[in-house]
Amino acid sequence: MQDRQTYEYSVIRVVPKVEREEFLNVGVILFSKRKKFLGIKFHLDENRLKAFAEDIDIEALGEYLKAWELVCEGSPKGGAIGELELASRFRWLTASRSTIIQSSETHPGLSNDPKKVLENLFERYVL
* Start-end of H helices in 1-127: 46-52, 58-73, 79-82, 86-93, 114-125
Task: Give per-residue pLDDT as tens, 3-39.
Answer: 889 999 999 999 988 888 889 999 999 999 999 999 9
Instruction: Tell me the C-alpha distance between 94 and 54, whole Å.
Output: 26
Contacts (Cβ under 8 Å, ≥6 apart) of 24: 13, 14, 48, 49, 52
The pTM of this model reads 0.92
| pLDDT exceeds cutoff 70 at 102 | yes
| pLDDT over 70, % of the chain | 98
| Cα distance between the two ends of the chain | 28
* More confident position, 76 or 1: 76
Instruction: Tell me the C-alpha distance between 49 and 59, whole Å.
Output: 12
Average pLDDT over residues 81-87: 94
What pLDDT, on the 0 to 100 scale, is given for residue 1? 52
